[in-house]
């Protein structure tokens, strides 16, 4: 597999409040081998230093809970789901505890994470950072659902998906880590085919493009790191009002 990642501050922010994690290992058992990958993108919020701390706390929780599965020879399929749930619970609890001790108000983060093992992908998501799956032609096969006020309006057909892109309330989150006592992520299990691309990104990237435009870029024959560098640079040119982070995994 080929993967690339990048995170930039953007044109207007003073610091990068996003945090990334990607771990990869080759596992061998019963004379077969498969590559496993754990990836996380977290977009912190809260102002001052609290956003960048919240996103780092979340990434550390995923690394501690799910990271050991990367190296295990065997595990039950439901174990990934259980450990992913534990990661979100732990991240939420750790952020809330840190905020209480430091007296930070509304310290939180979005988080989207994937655990890829062979052709099986587990996805967890909360907030408006997204995980996409594109086929070899750049067509969108899957996209996580945003937890935003505006997405709720789209779901209830009060506004169109196109209108949602320019709605001034589009960044109002309805779910995130560190905001409520109990976090409510979405979980998915997906079968991956050879040639698929998995993209994790924050809103600083996807707000600059349509899904079709992202898919066209991802379908390029260029190396994943080159695509990551190009996408974030052009998103910064188009907008740049937020941090821009992404991880791209080519299968």
Q: What percent of the chain has a predicted confidence (pLDDT) above 70? A: 97
Q: Which stretches of the chain score pLDDT less than 50?
A: none
Q: What is the CA radius of gyration of the chain?
A: 17
CA neighbor of 29 nearest in space, from 84, 87, 74: 74
Structure tokens at 147: 């937890």
Contacts of 33 (CB under 8 A, 6+ apart): 26, 27
What's the pLDDT at 147?
97
Residue 133, strand partner residues? 142, 198
Domains of the chain and any CATH numbers: 2-250 (3.60.40.10)
Residue 131, strand partner residues? 200
Token pair 């430091």: residue:
102
Q: Decide: 251 and 194 in contact? Cβ < 8 Å.
A: yes
What's the pLDDT at 48?
64
* Separation of alpha carbons 146 and 140, rounded Å: 16
Q: Decide: 2 and 245 in contact? Cβ < 8 Å.
A: no
* Separation of alpha carbons 173 and 152, rounded Å: 10
Across the chain, the runs of DSSP E, i.e. the strands, are: 2-8, 18-29, 32-45, 108-109, 111-117, 120-126, 130-134, 140-143, 186-191, 197-201, 244-250
Contacts of 189 (CB under 8 A, 6+ apart): 81, 120, 121, 122, 123
What's the pLDDT at 28?
66
What's the pLDDT at 33?
74
pTM over 0.85: yes
């Amino acid at each position: 597999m080929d993967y690339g990642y990048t995170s930039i501050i953007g044109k207007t922010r003073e610091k990068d409040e996003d945090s990334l994690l990607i771990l990869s290992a080759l596992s061998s058992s019963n004379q077969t081998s498969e590559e496993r990958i754990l990836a996380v993108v977290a977009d912190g919020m809260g102002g001052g230093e609290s956003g960048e701390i919240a996103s780092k706390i979340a990434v550390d929780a995923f690394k501690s809970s799910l990271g050991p599965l990367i190296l295990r020879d065997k595990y039950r399929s439901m174990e990934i789901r259980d450990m992913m749930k534990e990661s979100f619970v732990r991240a939420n609890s750790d952020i809330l505890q840190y905020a209480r001790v430091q007296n930070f108000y509304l310290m939180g983060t979005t988080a989207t994470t994937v655990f890829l093992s062979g052709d099986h992908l587990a996805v967890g998501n909360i907030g408006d950072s997204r995980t996409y799956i594109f086929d070899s032609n750049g067509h969108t096969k899957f996209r996580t659902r945003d937890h935003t006020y505006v997405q709720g309006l789209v779901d209830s057909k009060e506004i169109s998906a196109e209108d949602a892109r320019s709605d001034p309330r589009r960044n109002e989150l309805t779910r995130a880590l560190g905001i409520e006592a109990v976090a409510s992520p979405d979980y998915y299990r997906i079968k991956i085919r050879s040639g698929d691309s998995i993209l994790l990104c924050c809103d600083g990237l996807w707000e600059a493009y349509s899904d079709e435009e992202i898919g066209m870029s991802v379908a390029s024959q260029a190396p994943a790191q080159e695509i990551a560098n190009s996408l974030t640079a052009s998103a910064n040119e188009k907008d740049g009002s937020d941090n821009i982070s992404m991880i791209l995994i080519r299968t």
